[in-house]
Amino acid sequence: MNILLKSFSTAYNTAPFSEIKNEDFLPAITTLIEDTKAEINAITSNTEPPTFENTIEALEFSGEQLDRVTSIFFNLNSAETNDDIQKIAQEVSPLLSEFGNDITLNEALFKRVKSVYDNRTHLNLDAEQTMLLEKKYKSFSRNGANLAEDKKETLRALDKDLSKLKLSFGENVLAETNAFEMHITNEDDLSGLPEGAKEAAKQLAESKDKDGWLITLDYPSYIPFMTYADNRELRKKLAIAAGKKGFHNNEYDNQDHVLNIAKKRFQRANLLGYKTHAHFVLEERMAKTPENVSEFLNELLEKAKPAAHDEFKNLEEFAKSIDNIDHLEKWDGAYYAEKLKQKLFNLDDEKLKPYFQLEKVTAGAFLVAEKLFGLHFEEINTIDKYHDDVLTYKVTDTDGELVSIFYADFFPRAGKRNGAWMTSFKSQAIKNGKNERPHISIVCNFTKPTKSKPSLLTFNEVTTLFHEFGHALHGMLANTTYPSLSGTSVYWDFVELPSQVMENWCFEKEALELFAKHYKTGEVIPMELVSKIKESSTFHEGMQTLRQISFGLLDMSWHGIDPSQIQDVKAHELVAFQNTKLYPDVKENCMSTAFSHIFQGGYSSGYYSYKWAEVLDADAFEYFKEAGIFNTEVATKFKDHVLSQGGTVDPMTLYKRFRGKEPQPEALLKRAGLIK
């Protein structure tokens, strides 16, 4: 029998990766869709009057095995994919999209949900039940339940097309990333590159039976080269290759995908009675409207732009003074910024990396979580992994009770998309009196160990690890009844609060002393370096803020308007970047064609949320600092009111319960050095 159709008889009910074959997925998902349809039919054919229990709860807990199997499948498609999995994804995605529509467009089901919703004031529901009822009702009303039959069919077709387009978009970006290699045979071309990066490039070349060194578009290879390589022409070649992903007029070109996704999202929003896709999305966000998002981004832009222009002018003058560079190009930014940073602070990542051995940083993140939230992480080897690189942990509380299973997948490989993310293989929920604990995973792309060195992280990678670990804590500490309200199932502009607030511990002496120890000598990071890390933390903050704002504005330019007249992706993008532009445009490059966050992931109309959450996280961390960064009283309030509550309560209400007041943007602007 297909392993995916049975309850998993594994330790902690974990995914049995070693027993799953690729060919199991399609038949299992097809069967489980039919099983879930039968569960839905049982709800709609119930002759009893609709109640919260027999309709809303029954619907919430339907399709549990389908949810598990699809989460395993799509997680593998991101972290350990291959041609077979990608082909299956192209078949499975439209099936799931169609099935999702079968539920939201099921009139008999909606009638029952609406009956419970209309009667809600008489049901004596608690806050979580009320939120579940509202979300279930909205999931129908916002997805076409009130449409006429012909319009429902149009919606189905749009959703099917969008699911395929988003998948193809992501596959093209991955294919383009994997297709490019810069093969270097003259060691002089590596001048400026740190020894560790050179060794990694040599090791990569050897693994492909090539002489010399290989540089790729994977971040651990790309970032050091752009930051340190003296050869300007090769930096240019690499930067253009990175910026051309999906913009080649070849089989992996994403220009039509971008236009089609934007236009179909707009059509879908119109069909449902919304002005634009952004109006549809933002109704379920803290920001509420595109106007609020634009106001928020433009207010930040006003504060950041003067600082960004000053920083850029200084960088230009610096580049001219040392290398007689007249015009800074995009491939010069990281290189000269690093040199200027070294000059100003006598601090460079190569000095810091020996203190940030991956294993020690991971242990440090665990120790921070133990001090704050009483969690204990124990590496275990009794559960299956989908790749040998993956590490597995059992997470327990102070009473030794299971909190979560935790997977950590740290290194790049061909079947893994770039970037870093948190996900889950099993949701937390309380069913039949049993608290089902979650299985949480973080996936990153850090520098692999070499023959002579362990994996040593840049400081930016350290903050990335803490960021994803913050998301993981949000998932691990979930303690709600219903899976769809659990963990990170919160408004998108609230989801980044736990992740971004965790980054703050990376800048604090008290926390750094726990894990920043030299990989050879065990010496704790010198305090002068800690001071320099803090001092340099606002280096080029104006330019960084401008960059994030530019991405948010680009997102809104695709989703906050009627895109039906846009014919040229690049021309549209240039207009969107007009107010945030610092570097000259590179004609061969286009960002939208590889902007996976908004065209493949869940950030469409939501990229602004990174800056939005920064306001929350700066304000929240002020509270920790006032009481002491390991103050258990503040940490417990954060756990009880934010991390454990998921989406059971409006996020601003949760924040105020934790903080005692609404967040103030001053904390962020001060931290960024944009106001005194």
Q: Tell me the per-residue pLDDT of 608-659, one tens digit each, with 9 for 90 and over.
A: 999 999 999 999 999 999 999 999 999 999 999 999 999 999 999 999 999 9
pTM of structure: 0.88
**C-alpha to C-alpha distance for 569 and 227, rounded to whole angstroms:** 29
**C-alpha to C-alpha distance for 461 and 353, rounded to whole angstroms:** 10
**C-alpha to C-alpha distance for 81 and 416, rounded to whole angstroms:** 6
Per annotation, catalytic residue among 60, 311, 468, 622: 468
**C-alpha to C-alpha distance for 163 and 152, rounded to whole angstroms:** 17
Which domains are seen in the chain, by residue range?
3-145 (1.20.1050.40), 147-178+246-297+540-676 (1.10.1370.10), 180-228 (no CATH), 356-522 (1.10.1370.40)
* Cβ count near 192 (within 10 Å): 17
Q: What residues contact 339, with CB distance under 8 A and at least 6 apart?
A: 318, 322
Please tell me whether residue 359 adopts helix, strand or coil conformation: helix
Return the pLDDT at 1: 84
pLDDT tens, position by position, 547-593: 999 999 999 999 999 999 999 999 999 999 999 999 999 999 999 99
Return the pLDDT at 672: 84
- Residue 378's H or E segment, with its range, is strand 376-379
622 counts as catalytic: no
Q: What percent of the chain has pLDDT over 90?
A: 91
* Cβ count near 388 (within 10 Å): 5
Return the pLDDT at 350: 84
Return the pLDDT at 449: 92
Return the pLDDT at 278: 98
Residue 164 has phi, psi (to 5 degrees) of -70, -40
Return the pLDDT at 667: 83
CA 369 from chain centre, in angstroms, equals 20
**C-alpha to C-alpha distance for 606 and 621, rounded to whole angstroms:** 23
Q: Which two tokens stand for residue 129?
A: 């039940």
Q: What residues contact 142, with CB distance under 8 A and at least 6 apart?
A: 272, 280, 283, 284
What stretches in the chain show pLDDT beneath 70? 676
